Amino acid sequence: MKPIVLSLLLILMPLLAQAITPEERGLEIAQEIERRDTGFHDFKAAMTMLLKNKHGEESLRDMRNQTLEVENDGDKTLVIFDEPRDVKGTALLSFSHKTGDDDQWLYLPALKRVKRIASRNKSGPFMGSEFAYEDISSQEVEKYTYKFIEESSYEGKASFLLERYPVDPNSGYTRQQVWVDQAQFIPLKIKYYDRKNTLLKTLVFRGYQQYLDQYWRADQMYMENHQTGKSTLLSWEKYNFRSGLSDGDFNKNSLKRAR
């Protein structure tokens, strides 16, 4: 009996594989990306944004990021601003969620005021940069639906090309094309299409490094806006995984202490 079942399975396997729809395959890849990036617990990192307009004028943003992984929900993140100097000490606390709006509080140090802010505005520029809040917030599988397009290659690396469609009606995008590295299941490039389905931006990930022998993070994320000619280079430095952050580092008191 057993050998027959086995051989039947072997014959049917390719058929089963074929029976997976592009949507299912896209979702499987997204789930695998998330599975491989689960379990880091927390990290601290320094972020620098170099903003450039089409005339080449530059502007700098310096921030520090603290992220805590939350089981079965989006991550908790605290971003503290160091530059420009007039917003030094301003801090943003976000509890992101797999579905629905995130919870966000902004701390304004001059007034010592913590403001709960409307987080529905995901598509607006983050600190005047080419990154929207939705581009850098916790990337959860549930935030999109997916479609596998083709096996492709990006800069000589075998990759999967997926399309994903934001579930949130307040997203600034109709769709995103994502090139995913086949070996490591990490994004290499994302093309963003605006609400009119016109190509808006391209994000390229550079200088991937592996932390704790598992978690890949890009040193640089370069976002180019094709409609305005502006660009933002987001550099990540001083990654410190499992730095000892806990839930207590992500409340309104810690937001006021952050600096």
Partner 1 sequence: MKVWFCILLLLPGFLCAGEWSGYVEGQGRYFLQDPLDSDQPDHALSLAVQPEYFQRWDNDKQSLLFIPFARWDSEDDERSHADIRELIWTYAGNGWESRVGVGKVFWGVTEALHLVDIINQTDLVENPDGEQKLGQPMLKLSLERDWGILDFYLLAGFRERTFPGEDGRLRTHPRVDTDLAGYESDREERHLDLAIRWSHFIGDWDIGLSHFNGTSRDPLFMPLSNGAGEVVLAPFYELMRQTGLDLQATKGDWLWKLEAIHRSADSGSYNAATGGFEYTLVGIGESAMDLGLLAEYLYDDRQDAATTPFENDLFLAFRLTANDVDGSELLAGIIKDLDSSAALFNLETSRRIGNLWKVSAQARLWFNVPEDDPLYPFRQDDYVEISLSRFF
Residue ranges that bind partner 1, judged by CB under 8 A: 51, 53, 59-60, 83-88, 101, 103, 111-121, 123-125, 128, 170, 172, 248, 251-254, 257, 259
CB-wise, 215 or 239, nearer to partner 1? 239
231-241 and 199-211 strand pairing: unpaired
Quote the least distance from Cβ 168 to partner 1, whole Å. Answer: 11
Nearer to partner 1, 75 or 102 (CB): 102
- Contact between residue 120 and residue 108 where contact means Cβ atoms under 8 Å apart: no
SS (H, E, C) 12-36: HHHHHHHHCCHHHHHHHHHHHHHHH
Residue given tokens 């992101």 in the structure block? 96
Angle (nearest 5°) at CA 231 between 230 and 232: 140
CB of 1 to partner 1, least distance (A): 56
Which residue number, 33 or 136, has a Cβ lying nearer to partner 1?
136
Instruction: CB nearer to partner 1: give 45 or 114.
Output: 114
Nearest distance from C-beta of residue 89 to partner 1, angstroms: 8
| Closest approach of partner 1 to the CB of residue 118, in Å | 5
Quote the tokens at residue 59.
């502007």
Q: What is the DSSP letter of 38?
A: T
